[in-house]
Amino acid sequence: MTHFLYERIHLRHVMDWALFVSAEKDNIDWDDFNYWSRLMHYDRFVECMNVICNERLGCSFPVTGSSAVKALAGRVLDDIFTHDTLYNKGFGRFRIRWELLRGLWNNRWKFTSVYQHSLTYVAGSLLKGVLLDRNPQL
């Protein structure tokens, strides 16, 4: 989820999800997994990944079937395929930082629609953690 929110994900991440769930579906405590997914606000992301895997990779993972989730999964899939990486363009550090901040702003829909928190809430939480952490580490 963190990759999706801050950095973007690639088709490889979708394939990893599909292969992992297919291989381990009988070993996963799905009630516990769904509980923690909802608690951590990952449930929409999981649902989107499952819809993408079902519709594009022929999997049969559980989904709610709502049209809103299917539309959101389509937007997530579009984001995966319209990815343009900055890391190989030879930009300087300032330009890369600027582009990362611009990317966060342009992709704020991910926070509200998928993560179910606003970008402002997440930024405030990160800032609070950085300022109040008694043992900060890199």
Q: Which residue, among 63, 53, 54, has the nearest Cα to 30 in the 3D structure? A: 63
Structure pTM? 0.73
Sorted by where each begins, the domain ranges of the chain are: 2-132
* Cα–Cα separations (whole angstroms), residue 40 to 45, 96, 112, 117: 11, 29, 14, 11
Q: For residue range 59-109, what is the model confidence (pLDDT) as tens digits?
A: 988 887 778 888 888 888 888 887 665 555 677 777 777 777 777 777 788
Spell out the alpha helix ranges (H) of 67-118: 67-81, 93-106, 108-109
Q: For residue range 23-42, what is the model confidence (pLDDT) as tens digits?
A: 998 998 989 998 998 898 88
Residue 118 tokens read as 């606003």
Q: Give the pLDDT score at 64.
A: 77
